[in-house]
Amino acid sequence: MWAFWTSTLANVFLLLQFAMRFPAIHVSLSAAKQFQNETDRLALLEFKHQIYDDPFGVLNSWNHSQYHCQWEGVTCSTRHQRVVALTLMDRQLSGTISPHVGNLSFMRFIQLGENQFHGEIPQEFGRLFRLRVLNLLKIFIFHTNNLTGEIPSSIGNLSSLTTLALGYNNLEGNLPSEMGLLKKFAILTAGGNKLSGIIPASIFNCSAIIAISVPANSFHGNLPTNIGLTLPNLEGLYLGANKFYGNFPTSITNASGLEVLDLSRNKFEGQIPANLGDLTNLIVFDLYDNLFGNLFH
C-alpha cells in the first residue's frame, strides 16, 4: 500500500516538480507585457470570478497591477509565457470551476484538490489537449471538493492526460468510455463518489494504466478475464465497496508488478488461483466480504 502510494505520489510530485521548473518569471514587467497573453489572463480572471470565498486571500495577488504569470498558483512557461500549471491545493477556496479554464490551451497541470469547489466539471476541460494531470481530489485528507454531475465525456479529448484524480466528490453516472482513448492514461482515482454502471471495457484496455482506484462507489459488473494481459503495468487495483461480481480474474497474476489488489466488499465468487505467489510485489491482498468459497485450490 505504502509502496504503491509512495510511487503514485512520487509521480504526482514529479509532475509538480515539472510544473515548478517554470519558476517565477525573471523579466521586468514591461518586457513581460510584450509576451503577455490576453487570452490566458482573461481566462484566469473568469476563474477567479467564480470563486466567492477565499479566506486566506490567495487570489488577492490576481490583480491588474501584477503580471498574471506572477499570480499565486499560476505557473507560465519561460519562453512563451503561457500558463502551464494552476496549483491551488488546500486553500479553502469555495466556488464553481469556470468553463473558461478550457481556454488555457497550454495547460499541463491542474491541481485544485482539497478545496470546496462544487458544481459540475466543465465540458470545456476537453479542450486542454496538453493537460497531463487533472487533480480535483483529495489525495490527502481534510477538505473535500463537492463536484457533482457526471464526468464529461470530453475527457476523452485530453490526449496527453496521465492522471485523473476525482476522489471524494459527489460525482455520479458512468465513467465515460471515451477515457479508453487516452493512450498515456496511467492513474485514475475516483473513490468515494456515486459513480455507477460498469467500468467501460475500453478503460481496461489502456495498457499504460498503473492504478485504478474507485472504491466506495456503486460500480457493478465482471472484471474482464484478460485484465492482467491488457493492463501489464498495473500496480494498484482498488475496487473495494462496490457491487462487482463474477469470478476472480485469474489473469491478474500476469500483471507482475501488482502491489495492491483490493476486491473487498463486493460479490466476487469462485476460486482463487494457486499461482498468486507469482505476484512477488504484492503487498495488499484484500478479499474480505465477498462470496468466495474454498480459498486456494
Ligand X SMILES: *[C@@H]1O[C@H](CO)[C@@H](O)[C@H](O)[C@H]1NC(C)=O
- Min CB(189)–ligand X separation in Å: 19
Find the part of the chain contacting ligand X (CB under 6 A) among 17-25, 135-143, 199-207, 282-290.
199-207
3-state helix, strand, coil in the chain (%, to 5): 30, 25, 50
Among 1, 10, 24, 42, binds ligand X (CB under 6 A): 42
Neighbours of 37 (CB within 10 A): 18
- Min CB(255)–ligand X separation in Å: 9
Joined together, the cell numbers standing for residue 292 give: 468466495
Among 48, 118, 220, 267, binds ligand X (CB under 6 A): 118
Q: What is the bridge-based pairing of β-strands 51-53 and 94-96? A: antiparallel
Among 61, 77, 78, 94, binds ligand X (CB under 6 A): 61
Concatenated DSSP letters of 87-138: E-TTS--EEE--GGGGG-TT--EEE--SSEEEEEPPGGGGG-TT--EEE-S-
As a whole number of angstroms, the distance between CA 63 and CA 282 comes to: 51
Size of the site for ligand X (CB under 6 A): 32
| Torsion angles phi and psi, residue 148, rounded to 5 | -120, 180
With CA atoms as reference, report the closest residue to 259 among 237, 274, 288, 239.
Answer: 237
- Min CB(207)–ligand X separation in Å: 8
As a whole number of angstroms, the distance between CA 186 and CA 163 comes to: 6
Compose the 64-103 pattern: x for residues touching ligand X by CB under 6 A, - for all others.
-xx---------------------------------x--x
Among 50, 105, 226, 247, binds ligand X (CB under 6 A): 105
- For residues 90 and 114, the answer to whether their CB atoms sit within 8 Å is yes
Residue nearest to ligand X (CB): 126
Compose the 153-182 pattern: x for residues touching ligand X by CB under 6 A, - for all others.
-x--x------------x---------x--
Among 5, 27, 46, 94, binds ligand X (CB under 6 A): 46
- Can residue 122 be called a binding residue for ligand X (CB under 6 A)? no
Find the part of the chain contacting ligand X (CB under 6 A) among 124-132, 236-244, 264-272, 287-295.
124-132
Taking only Cα atoms into account, the Rg of the chain, rounded to an integer number of angstroms, comes to 21
Question: Where along the sequence are the contacts to ligand X (CB under 6 A)?
Answer: 37, 39, 42-43, 46, 60-61, 63, 65-66, 100, 103, 105, 118, 123-124, 126-127, 146, 148, 154, 157, 170, 180, 201-202, 205, 229, 253-254, 275, 278
